[in-house]
Amino acid sequence: MNKVRDQYEAFPYPERDPRDEKKRLITGSPSLPQEIDHYVFGGQRDWSQPLRILVAGGGTGDGLIQLTTLLTQYGKPFEATYIDLSSASRKVAEARAKTRGLNSLTFVTGSLLDAGDHGPFDYIDCCGVLHHLPDPDAGFNALRAALAPGGGMGFMVYAPYGRSGVYPLQEAFAALYSDSPPKDRLKAARKVVESLPAGHPFKSNPNLNDHKNGDAGFYDLLLHSTDRAYDVQSLADTLDRTGWSFAGFTVPILYDLARLAPVPAGMDPVAAMAVAEKLNGTIRTHTGYATDRRRPVASGKTRTLVPHLKGVHPAQLARAVAQGQAPALDTDGIKGKLALPRQAAALLAAIDGRRRLQDIAAHAGLDPITFGGLWSQVEKALLPWGMLLYSNVLR
């Protein structure tokens, strides 16, 4: 792990300026509170109870800052522990937290393999880390051992097909520059990349952008000493082998085989997602959630759940639907249209993160049967794109 540590001491990743915390909050998946509730707690967590959080391999702090800032804004109690092997990355994360005035945070310089010494935790964030371990299974096992009963993990691991061209370059640069200091490796590799032929898989891959985001992004993408990718099947096997239960990907439509080809009768769901990944070919990372045991996914069949819309303002979407429009959708090159009946506009407009489904039905003046039929269409349209979540966090 010395080379990995040396990399992140030289190039804390991702590059962040703590002063920017005064201007904006970086958000994304995993570790949005609404997503955590939806995938880990079935949309029904009691947020009056403190959420015990581990950010494992926290880097410069994106996941930590996002989750604790939002919970602070929502007035929900938490205790968060950050672990990372890089003191330079930790320094950035601490400065960002200080700029925001965040409390109830503990910072540890160390290995996530020792997570159990600091737990147990209700929720673990591990984004972009496990695939950099010499033995990733040891990481999955260590985090599982640090989990409290009923808890879960938000993860991101690299995927192979959308990163076409990356791994041959990593291997070549390792052969050429493995004994050079990080900054010398960076300078030499940049020169080589500039001269790659146009037909090189890396040059012709439009899915890759990290190398354009400063020195840390370039190094992390092309010069990392320990890096592996998981296809859907190997990820599912790893989760099963290490005691995790897969709860779902944050954008399910990317893995929907039926969208791309007829699904053979009796095909296993994981096998179907694995085929979809190959046919898709653009997925760079797998982002999702895993739990300590399989539990029902949040569903509109439970009328006490509170819906949230992600990535779109309810009033704007409601207005478009009321006008008969079908807004265009696009994620990782997958395009679609959001087609909903005009009658669904009143339901969308009533989503405020606090009203339960039964309250929305009453607000719209709909009887349970009519509401149920309309809401099932809303779920069918929005859930696959990761745009609909259920959570009590704002109540």
Query: What pLDDT digit, counting tens, does each position of 159-188 carry?
Result: 999 999 999 999 999 999 988 999 999 999
Which of 261, 291, 321 marks a domain boundary? 291
Q: Is there a single domain that holds both residue 188 and residue 237?
A: no
Q: Is there a single domain that holds both residue 180 and residue 312?
A: no
> Residue 101 half-sphere exposure, CB side, CA atoms within 13 Å?
3
Q: Is there a single domain that holds both residue 76 and residue 167?
A: no
Q: Is there a single domain that holds both residue 211 and residue 245?
A: no
Q: Is there a single domain that holds both residue 169 and residue 316?
A: no
Which of 187, 205, 222 marks a domain boundary? 222
Pairing, β 334-337 against β 51-56: unpaired
pTM of the model: 0.95
Q: Is there a single domain that holds both residue 51 and residue 151?
A: yes
Q: Is there a single domain that holds both residue 141 and residue 177?
A: no
Contacts of 163 (CB under 8 A, 6+ apart): 205, 207, 208, 229, 284
Residue 297 covered by a domain: no
> Residue 131 half-sphere exposure, CB side, CA atoms within 13 Å?
22
Residue 103 lies in domain: 2-158+230-291
Residue 300 covered by a domain: no
Residue 120 covered by a domain: yes
- Using 70 as the pLDDT threshold, list the residues of the chain that sit under it: 1
* pLDDT confidence of residue 1: 58
Which of 222, 247, 267 marks a domain boundary? 222
- Domain tally, the chain: 3
Q: Is there a single domain that holds both residue 53 and residue 111?
A: yes
Q: Is there a single domain that holds both residue 142 and residue 265?
A: yes
For residue 86, give the nearest of 114, 61, 122, 49 by alpha carbon: 61
Q: Is there a single domain that holds both residue 204 and residue 67?
A: no
